[in-house]
Structures are given as C-alpha cells and as structure tokens.
Amino acid sequence: MAKGSKMKSHRGAMKRFKVTGSGKIARHKAYKSHILNKKSAKRKRGLRKATLLGSADFKRIKAAMAK
C-alpha cells in the first residue's frame, strides 16, 4: 500500500517569517525598501526591527509554515 504524500511547508513563508522561542511569529516591517528620502530617520529606524505577527494572520501563516 502506498504512503500518503506529506504537505510541504510554504518556502516563501519560511523565508519571511521566524518562529520565536515562545511560539509566536516574528515578521519584518514594510515600507523600508524604496523611496527612503522622504521618510525621516526616526521613521526608518523604527522600521528596522522585526515585530510580532498579528492575531488576524497568525493561524494562516502558522499553517503555511507547518512541516
């Protein structure tokens, strides 16, 4: 009898998100890739650090990252 195929994790999601030690999902902030002259240094500095994923997207991204 043939074994069922396994689900593959979404490679794009794996590159963009990281699971923290406590099981939360970290993501990078948007708006840091181009048109940076008009953005203040304070604003750009705030976009550097990663932040946690919101509850609205958590379930969907967790499923995409499941192995």
Query: pLDDT tens digits for 20-62?
Result: 999 999 999 999 999 999 999 999 999 999 999 999 999 999 9
Whether residue 15 is contained in a domain is answered as yes
The predicted structure's pLDDT at residue 1: 61
Residue 47 lies in a domain: yes
Strand partners, 34: none
User: Which secondary structure element, helix H or strand E, spans residue 57, and what is its range?
Assistant: helix 55-65
The CA-based angle 11-16-20, given to 5 degrees, is 105
- What confidence category does residue 4 fall into, taking pLDDT thresholds of 50, 70 and 90? confident
Q: What is the pLDDT of residue 21?
A: 96
41 inside domain: yes
46 is a domain residue:
yes
The total number of structural domains in the chain stands at: 1
Distance (Å, rounded) from C-alpha 54 to C-alpha 27?
10
Is 43 part of a structural domain of the chain? Answer: yes
Pair of tokens at residue 4: 């069922």
